[in-house]
Chains A and B, each alone.
Chain A
């Protein structure tokens, strides 16, 4: 983006920067003027950026400190005074934390893949086919997505009890049960985001392919899905994070610590006000935030386009 565009966006803060300043007289004046212009244009933004960055990272600095300093949890007076892995050792000794981390990654990963596959297919249908009940189904999804599944946890509990008698893998204390429940929310939440993005792919592309003899399945799998990959990445990431963080249903269904996900396990560590294990919690939080942070940084360039595309439509 160039300077001209910058002011074109009508930034009040940059107000008038693009209007030509009066011609400076001497070299010193010129240097002074350009320094002032730099401050007015760019400098203050650096200050804001540093302040906001500090604001963004201070809790993360403290959680790392809490994780590596066994004394920090209940009285953090100083930063990085001690270093030990005691909290990590305690964490893995007190509970099957590795297994719980694996459970969470399985639940998050399978849910993300399933959500992307099912949501993209539905978005394709809505975007490319005109069929009876299309309008109704879209409105219906829009309303249904307002009903978070955790509101229905009483009914979910009843359902899981009776389903478990028929399909043991959809009963209590199975990861697959939790995944199936999360997938139930897949269409509602993500279809719209994807639908908007699918609409930006020109339909002439499909028609050309159809003329060339491609089937609808070929068009979908080989053309459309490739064109919308940014939104697939974003939906996958968002779905991973939301199932990663889900607590109520996971705690309801998964009763055995061997089956717990991280949300249940970490809450178990510090949910009790009388005896919270902050050190172990911090160690667990550092470990479990890593996969999400890495995914996020890895997919960062898709996120902005994906997030806004649903609303802005390209």
Chain B
């Protein structure tokens, strides 16, 4: 170190002499800075303008503030530390702090697959999707047309005009259409399709695009729309919205079920859906509203969630703790065993032993999923296959306990090299003279190990153990790739939280896959995870006094 210091000082002296001719503020560094800031400003102004154009006022304001801050920081003489902090801070603010805050915000809403947008969107979608055959209107003689892969309909309306229209494109008069006997026979630019054209396309006549084709009669959705009859492509029937929205009473009037008669679904602005006697309107979604702490309450009290949540929470803690404990002790034992240069080939051993650390974790998890497969996995077939009478162990999909054991074992393979490296480094940094003086004082090897080596080792690796705990607490890739959270409880689907799901993979299942993603509930769970990990970490960092060193 000291040698390098003198070298650096000598070089600095040379450098100083070389640069002293220039005024300090106008060196090449200044121009590099100028160019970089100019680039950032250009990008920022472009973004500002675009944000303004697209009406994203919030983004525009944030951009303006950021630009002002960046320019002030880099041209002011006062904000020295900020010059080094700003680049990272900007990314941190946008992609970490902002999304965290927004996560908190979402966790207080019912945002989810069923509650995506505004109330207006929800009503429009419900009215559009509800349809009821309008028996008061005659069946029309229609002509099916196609253009550019899409289908269109044409017919002669009551006024004797030939009209053409398509999906979400109301019928409009087409003067060029040719009519014979009250039926449109040809429309320039379109190809006429007859039932015969669909034969040989997999047997059944009505193909999906035709089946779903619904042409509005007019711009007003109340006017209804024309659909092709499934049994006869030359006939069309008029469908009207089965549901209408009544603004006065803020409710849906549902006509679509003839047997049940008219049902009125009243808008509930607390839950963000239309309800009748407590049942939500079944054929459409609701809208996004703020629901306060309901997601959190649900997590802890709703019997369908809170049981699973409790189990998952417990397993998450156990998993993270055991992962750290097993990898640490195995790594420590190895470090103790190999902390000696008398072993020939130590370098080769070390490279081989830390290979699992260098092999990307997600690939290892997927690989072990194959190796541990009950039927074709290598572990059952080759490594244990020679044992007479061995029938194979269902490592991953049998009992929950077995799957949990397997997960810990796989994580041991993935994690011990890190602990091995860390413990080796820590052992080597323990000053020899302390141990030597203990030996002189008559402490035996066991006593020296337990009273000096181990405590000193713990002090230096404790922060890493805490980080490792926090990492494993959220070790999504291992769980999701190895077991997918399974084994699934009897009668459950793969989307339900299973025996090895940890909290973060449960969040993913709640929000990502299942049938009805509930983002509100998922984000509430995210916040709970954050609080738990944050509290544990802050508490233990305080304990290990690493914070005091920092300050």
Contacts and interface: CB of A to CB of B under 8 A. Distances in A.
Interface of A: 1, 3-16, 41-42, 45-46, 48-49, 52-53, 55-60, 62-63, 66, 73-77, 117-119, 121-122, 124-125, 129, 131, 134-135, 137-139, 142-144, 146-156, 158-159, 162-163, 165-167, 180-181, 183-188, 191-192, 195, 202, 205, 208-209, 212-218, 220, 222-223, 226-227, 241, 244-245, 247-248, 263, 266-267, 270, 276, 278, 281-282, 285, 288-289, 292-293, 296-297, 300, 303-305, 307-308, 310-314
Most A CB contacts (10 A, CB to CB) among B102, B368, B417, B461 go to B102
A213 B16 contact: yes
B366 interface: yes
A218 B29 contact: yes
Q: Which of A76, A135, A222, A227 has the most CB of B within 10 A?
A: A76
Given A77-B381, A167-B50, A288-B363, A311 B460 contact: yes
B81 interface: yes
27 contacts: A46-B343, A48-B334, A60-B359, A76-B382, A121-B84, A121-B85, A121-B88, A124-B84, A134-B81, A139-B547, A151-B504, A155-B100, A155-B103, A156-B99, A185-B92, A186-B92, A208-B9, A208-B12, A215-B27, A218-B29, A222-B12, A245-B361, A266-B363, A266-B366, A270-B370, A311-B461, A312-B429
Contacts of A119: 88
B91 A166 contact: no
Contact of A12 (B429, B449, B477, B547): B449
Contacts of A278: 370
B114 to A, nearest CB: 15
A151 B523 CA distance: 8
Contacts of B439: 7-8
A62 B378 contact: yes
B427 interface: yes
Contacts of B88: 118-119, 121-122, 186-187, 191
B429 A9 contact: no
Interface string B336-357: 1111111101000101111111
B425 A148 contact: no
A151 B97 contact: no
Residue of A6, A213, A270 ringed by the most chain B CB atoms within 10 A: A213
A278 B363 CA distance: 12
B449 A10 contact: yes
Interface stretch (B261-269, B387-395, B532-540): B532-540
B424 interface: yes
Contact of B366 (A45, A62, A202, A267): A267
Q: Is the interface of A mostly helix, strand, loop or mixed?
A: helix
Contact of A59 (B367, B446, B529): B367
Interface stretch (B124-132, B211-219, B235-243, B430-438): B430-438
B247 to A, nearest CB: 30
B445 interface: yes
Contact of A149 (B12, B96, B381): B96
Q: Which of A58, A147, A244 has the most CB of B within 10 A?
A: A147
Contacts of A58: 383
B363 A289 contact: yes
Interface in B396-452: 413, 417-418, 421-422, 424-430, 432, 435-436, 439, 445-446, 448-449, 452
Interface string B313-352: 0000000000000000000001011111111010001011
Given A185-B95, A304-B425, A166 B51 contact: yes
Nearest to B530: A147
Nearest to B446: A12
Nearest to A49: B349
A297 B351 CA distance: 8
Contacts of B533: 146-147
A131 B83 CA distance: 12
Nearest to A314: B429
B16 A214 contact: yes
Contacts of B477: 245, 247, 263
B486 to A, nearest CB: 10
Nearest to A115: B88
B54 interface: yes
Contacts of B378: 62, 76
B84 A125 contact: yes
B16 A183 contact: no
Contacts of B534: 143, 146-147
Range for the number of chain B residues in contact with chain A: 35 or more
A216 B349 CA distance: 44
Contacts of B8: 205, 209, 223, 226
B464 interface: yes
B470 A180 contact: no
B13 interface: yes
Contacts of A195: 550
Interface in B519-533: 519, 522-523, 526, 529-530, 533
A6 B96 CA distance: 46
A7 B358 contact: no
B87 interface: yes
B504 A148 contact: yes
Nearest to B431: A8
Contacts of A46: 343
A125 B89 CA distance: 12
A285 B427 CA distance: 35
A16 B445 contact: yes
A10 B424 contact: no
B56 interface: yes
B448 A56 contact: no
A58 B338 CA distance: 21
Contacts of B426: 308, 311-312
Interface string B1-25: 1001100110011011001100010
B117 interface: no
B355 A56 contact: yes
A307 B463 CA distance: 12
B362 interface: yes
A261 to B, nearest CB: 11
Given A155-B99, A186-B92, A215-B29, 10 more contacts: A49-B337, A49-B349, A122-B85, A146-B470, A152-B100, A152-B523, A159-B94, A166-B54, A281-B366, A307-B421
A7 B59 contact: no
Nearest to A184: B95
B523 to A, nearest CB: 6
A211 to B, nearest CB: 10
A263 B361 CA distance: 10
Contact of B381 (A57, A76, A155): A76
B274 interface: no
B95 A312 contact: no
B9 A146 contact: no
A121 B87 contact: yes
Nearest to B474: A148
Contact of B445 (A10, A142, A205, A293): A10
Contacts of B460: 308, 311-312
B343 A6 contact: no
Given A53-B353, A184-B96, A142 B541 contact: yes
B91 A183 contact: yes
Contacts of A8: 432, 435-436, 439
